[in-house]
Amino acid sequence: MSGYHPHDLLTSEADIPKAEATAMQRAIDLSKRALGHTSPHSIVGCVLMDRQGHTIGEGWRQDPNGPHAEIRALHAAGANARGATAVTTLEPCNHAGPTRPCAQALIDAGVTRVVYAVADPTTLAAGGGATLAAAGVDVECGLLAHQAAEANTAWLTSVQRQRPYVIWTYVVTLDGRGAASDSICRWVTSPQARADLHRLRAEADAVVVGSGTVRLDDPQLAARNRCGTRQPLRVVVVGSHGNVRPDARILDHSAPTLIAMNHAAKAPRMRERATAIRLPSAADGRGLDLSALLDALYERGVRSVLLEGGPTLAGAFLAAGFVDRIAGYLAPALLGEGPAPLARVDANTALMRALRVNVIDITWLGPDLRITATPQPPPPWPATATGQTRS
């Protein structure tokens, strides 16, 4: 594709990248409105500008089966789209879905320049940029690519790894005690931190906990105080000795529930909104094969998971390498007792060593801190004090 070439009709060459960068940031912000609403498809935002750099239409994908962002922006612009520049967070699709291909729609509307942040990684929809260029449209890729990819990281990661993107979230006090998000968390954390947790729930396709958390804390796990929110699927992982009481709040009507259990677990009595599936056992024979669990969720259209389980389930996900991001809430409180947020899993796993993380964000939420991090690959095992593998 061609490099950046300013449009001759714009008033100032220096204004062009600024105008397009501003439009791209707006498109990214629009795309975020779709978090939790479009799976198994991506989130996308689009802004159309006239030749003077003024916005004439914008849109974002609002549901899995509705018009794409580009189609919504074209509809808003109408006849003004001719000669316009389209700025979009993802390469315009090249296949017919609920609507005609977005690349062809842009061509038919007379758009003369398309700037997109991230190339489409799927074999089905990729190639829109080439189609546009072949039709004589000026095409640019890569503007604010990092920011656009970060907003769409759950979907992009799920496409790459063919499993849902997993965020492990937990609450911990200053003395290192774990606080369950739906019980002790109510008075340990601030309203701002709890609102942020519900935001993460609303943006996720599924929330996963273990049967131990359900038994001890009886969480509801719905995203509350989120107007217009599509509730995430609530998933309970049940091992050989676990169970779910028929009166558990996680079986209420506030959101759908999936009970995932191994073949040795006793089938629970469930209400009409809950379903159950049998999956292979973990290697120890007691828990659940997490790879099979993520495969089952992926087949159901789940592309992002919020892991809110207890220390054992969290440790199992980390040991298996299935945690993509960590969101830890640090509350300025002392409990004096209670479990750690993370349990040791197996003497042969990386969790017997220090699992290093990359801290990517630290945010104050009222008096609480949210620390966001990504796990680093574990060092070779066993390792010496200097970090060198023993011969």
Q: How many CB atoms lie within 10 A of CB 138?
A: 18
Alpha-carbon distance 203 to 167, whole Å?
Answer: 11
Tokens of 335: 């409990």
DSSP 330-378: EES---SSS--SS----TTSGGGS---EEEEEEEEETTEEEEEEEEPPP
Task: Give the three-state DSSP class for 207.
Answer: strand
Sign (positive/negative) of CA torsion 31, 33, 35, 38? negative
Angle of helix 69-77 relative to helix 15-32, nearest 10 degrees? 120
Q: Which two tokens stand for residue 17?
A: 């990248």
Q: State which amino acid sits at residue 81.
A: A
Separation between Cα atoms, residue 338 and residue 173, nearest integer Å: 10
Dihedrals phi, psi of 180, to nearest 5 degrees: -60, 140
Active site residue 70: yes
**Strand ordering across the sheet containing 45-49:** 55-60, 45-49, 85-90, 113-118, 138-141
- Backbone phi and psi for residue 145, each to the nearest 5 degrees, phi listed first: -60, -40
CA contacts within 13 A on the Cβ side of 390: 5
Helix H or strand E segment including 148:
helix 145-151
Coil vs helix vs strand at 246: coil
**Cα torsion at 187, 190, 193, 197 (round to 10°)?**
30
C-alpha dihedral, 359 to 40 to 144 to 202, nearest 10°: -50
DSSP-derived 3-state class of residue 53: coil
User: Which listed residue (20, 58, 70, 91) is catalytic?
Assistant: 70
Measure the CA–CA gap between 157 and 118, rounded to whole angstroms.
13
Residues labelled as active-site residues: 70
